[in-house]
Amino acid sequence: MLKRLGFLGCVLTTLAAGISVAHAHGEKALEPFIRMRTIQWYDVSWSNPTVEVNDAVTVTGRFHVAEDWPIGVPKPEAAYLNISVPGPVMIRTERYLNGQPWTNSVALRPGADYDFKVVLKARVPGRYHIHPFFNLKDAGPVMGPGRWIEIGGDAAAFSNPVKTLGGEVIDMESYGLATGVMWHGLWLLVGLAWLLWWISRPLFFPRYKMLEAGREAELVTPLDRRIAKVILVAVPVVVLGANAMAQNAYPNTIPLQAALDHIDPLEPVVNTGAVQVKILRAEYRVPGRSMAMTAQIFNGTGHPIRIGEFATAGLRFINAVAVVPSQDETDHLTAAAGLHLDNDAPIQPGERRTVMISATDAIWETEKLDGLIRDADSRLGGLLFFYDDAGQRYITSSSVAVIPRFD
Amino acid sequence: MTTNPAELAAQPYSGEKARLSRHFDYLILVLAFFLYIGSFHLNVALTVGDWDFWLDWKDRQWWPLITPLMMITFPAAVQSLLWERFRLPMGATLCMCCLLIGSWITRVFAYHYWNYFPINMVLPATMLPSALVLDVILMLTNSMTFTAIFGSAAFALLFYPSNWPMFGMFHVPVEYGGAQLTIADLFGFQYIRAGMPEYLRIIERGTLRTYGQYATPLASFFSALLCTLMYTLWWHLGKWFATVRYLKKI
C-alpha cells in the first residue's frame, strides 16, 4: 500500500512540476508562409506596459499587405483587427485604421499600406501577454508582435459608461441584466410550478398502468384542463403585453449593424520605388538556422543607403552595423545583431548591387518559421528596411522561393 | 393525514408498492433532470450556438428562425414519450427548464467567472412561454397532428415577443466611431473575443429584407412552418427510441 501511495505521489509530483502557465496564443501554429506573406507588421508599440483598472493602453503600428498573397489563402475581403487577450480583461474603446474609426470588418488590398491604433481600457487585474492580430476571413489569425501588460487595481472599480443616442448614460457592465434576470426568473417560476403540479402526484408506474388499463380519463382531471386553458390564454397575453410595453419603452431601436467598413489605404509607404529589391535566391540553412538571401538592390534615392533590418512574421533581424532608429528591441522576437551582409558599405545613389544577406538566429526555429521548407507554399516573404545617413527610412516587401540546405 | 384528490384518482397502488413506485419516480426525475441539462444543452450549444450565446448575434432574421427550430427538437421527443406513455403534459416545459438552468450555469461560471464576459452580454434567450403553450395544446387536444400544426406554430411565433422585453433595450442606438451601432453591437466591439471576429456573425443576411423592414415576422412565420415539420420528425424519433418494455414486466 505504502509503495503504491509512494508511486502515486511520485507521479503527481512529476505532473505538478511539469505544469506551467500557457502564454502563447497559437501564433506559431499558423503555417509560416501565411504568417510571412499576408499581413507584414512593423513599428508596433504600446503606450504603457503597467496600468491600473480603468486606465487606457494604446497600441499603434503599421502593416503592409503582401503583394505575393498566397494562392491557398482567400483574399482579405473581410478582415478584423483584433487583440489577443485571455477574455475581455481589457475592453477595446477605440480602433482606427489610417486614422479612420471603424467597428466592423474591412476589406484590405494586397500591396497596400495601413497604420492602426487601438485604445484599450484595463478591466481585470493581472499580467497578460497581448498581441494585435488580424482575423482574416477563411484564413485564420495572423499575429502581430506581443507584449506583457500588467494591470493593477480592483476589478470591481471598473466602469464602462456609454451615452445612447437618446442621451441616456448607461453602464455596459450591468445594463439590462436586472431585466433579463427578472424575466428569466418569472418564466422559470411559472415553468417549475407547472412541473411541480404534475410531479407532485404519482408518476411513471401508476400512470403507465392506468393508461394500459384504459383509465386515461382519470389521469388528466377537469382541474388540470382548467389550468391548462388559463395557461393557454394567459401566457400569450403576458408575452404580447410585455412585448408591447417593451416597444413603448424603447420606440427607437435599430437592427444589428452588419456593414463592411470601407477604408482607403495610405499613400504607398512600402515599395515606393525609391529602392528596388529583387531577391534572386534564398536558402535556409537548417543546422545554422540561417536564411541566406541573394538580393539585387537598386538605390534610386539621392542618398547612400544601408540595410538595417529584415522583418518577417513578427521577427526582426537587425543589422548592428547600420543606423537603426531606436525601438524596443528587448523582446524575444528581435535578433539584435542577427542580420549580416557580405558588404556593409553603403549603396550609393544610382548604384545597383548584388548583396548576400544572412538572417541568422535560433528564433527561426523557436518561432517555428523553419517549417517553411515543409510548407506546400514554401516561399519566403518579408520587409527590408533601408536607412540613409539622415535617418530616412525606405521599406521594400519581397518574396522568393526558399531552398533548404541540410548540410 | 390529508390526501390530494388528484393523487387518489391516479394511484392504482397502495402501501409499500406505492412507496416504492414513488421512490422510482424521484430517481427517474433526478436522472432526467441531469440528462436533459446535459444533452439538450449540448444540442442547443451545437446547433443554435452563437445566436444564443452573444447579444450581437440576436438579429431579426436568423435568430428567430434558428432558435425555435432547433429548440423544438428535444421537447417534441420528450413529449412523445411522456404523453403517449404516461399522459404527462410537461415534456416541453421540462426540457426548457433544464436547458435554462444549464444555460445559466454555463453563462455565469464559464463565460463570466472563467472568461470575464459580463453576464448581460451572454444572456440566453427563453423559450419557456412557448414550451408551456406547446404542453397545454398537446394536453387539451390530445393530438400529435394538431400540436404539430398549431402548437409548433405557437412555439415559434411566441419566441420573438417573449424575448423582446429582455433584448429590445440592447437595440437602442449609440453613436460610435462616426457610425450608429446598437448597444448589442457595441458589446461585440468592446468586449474582446479573440476567436469571434465581427465578420463571423451570421446576421441580417438573406433576402427577407426584400419585403421591406418586416424581416422578423417573416422569419418567425417561416420558422413556424419549419417547426411543424421538425416537431413531427422529433416526435417520431422520440417514439422510436423510447421503450417501455421494462415497465411491461413489472
Q: Does domain A275-405 have CATH number 2.60.40.1580?
A: yes
Instruction: Identify whether the C-beta of residue A81 lies closer than 8 Å to the C-beta of residue A132.
Output: yes
Could you tell me the pLDDT band of residue A9, with boundaries at 50, 70 and 90? low
- Rounded CA separation A298/A309 (Å): 17
Give the dihedral of Cα atoms A93, A99, A104, A108; nearest 10 deg.
-140
* φ/ψ of residue A216, rounded to 5: -60, -35
Tally the C-alpha atoms within 13 A of residue B155's C-alpha that lie toward its C-beta: 37
How much is the ipTM here?
Answer: 0.93
The set of residues, in sequence order, having a beta carbon less than 8 Å from that of A252 and lying 6+ positions away, is A165, A166, B172, B173
CATH architecture of A177-249: Orthogonal Bundle (1.10)
Cα separation of the two ends of chain B: 29
Burial of B36 (0-12, 13-18, 19+ CB in 10 A): buried
- Cβ-Cβ contacts under 8 Å for A149 (sequence gap 6 or more): A46, A49, A50, A51, A57, A90, A122, A127, A128, A129, A130
Asked if the C-beta of A177 comes within 8 angstroms of chain B's C-beta atoms, the answer is yes
Interface size A-B, in CB pairs within 8 Å, comes to 316
Task: Say yes or no to pLDDT of B75 above 70.
Answer: yes
When CB atoms are compared, the residue of A164, A176, A224 closest to B173 is A164
Residues 77-136 of B with CB under 8 A from A: 85-90, 93-94, 96-97, 100-101, 104, 114-120, 123-124, 126, 128-129, 131-133, 135-136
Looking at beta carbons, which residues of chain A come within 8 Å of B123?
176-177, 180, 184
pLDDT band at A24 (very low <50, low <70, confident <90, very high): low
In chain B, where the domains are located: 15-248
Residues of B (130-159) whose Cβ lies below 8 Å from A: 131-133, 135-137, 139-140, 154, 158
A67 within 8 A of A400, measured Cβ to Cβ: no
Residue A369, burial from CB neighbour count under 10 angstroms (0-12, 13-18, 19+): buried
Angle between helices B73-86 and B15-47 (to 10 degrees): 160
Identify the helix (H) or strand (E) that includes residue B52: helix B50-53
Query: Which residues of chain B have a CB within 8 Å of the CB of A104?
Result: 198-199
pLDDT digits (tens, 9 = 90+) for B128-181: 999 999 999 999 999 999 999 999 999 999 999 999 999 999 999 999 988 999
Q: What is chain A's Cα-based Rg?
A: 31
Give the rounded percent of residues in chain A with a pLDDT score beyond 90.
75
For residues B227-239, give the mean pLDDT: 97
Q: Say which residues have a Cβ less than 8 Å from residue A286's Cβ, sequence separation at least 6.
A: A370, A373, A404, A405, A406
Could you read off the pLDDT of A329-352 as tens digits, one per residue?
456 788 888 999 999 999 999 999
In a 10 Å sphere around its CB, with 0-12 CB exposed, 13-18 middle and 19+ buried, how is residue B42 labelled?
exposed
CA distance B204 to A161: 28
A252 min Cα distance to partner chain B (Å):
6
CATH class of B15-248: mainly alpha
Q: Which fold has domain A23-166?
A: Jelly Rolls (2.60.120)
List the end-to-end C-alpha distance of chain A, in Å, as a whole number. 55
Mutate to test the interface with A, among B166, B201, B244 (most CBs of A within 10 A): B166
- Residue B237, pLDDT > 70, answer yes
What residue segments make up the domains of chain A, in order of their start? 23-166, 177-249, 275-405
What's the helix, strand, coil split of chain A in %, to 5? Answer: 25, 35, 40
Q: Is A93 helix (H, G, I), strand (E, B) or coil?
A: strand
Using the beta-carbon criterion (under 8 Å), do A245 and B165 form an inter-chain contact? yes
Q: Taking 70 as the threshold, does the pLDDT of residue B1 lie above it? A: no
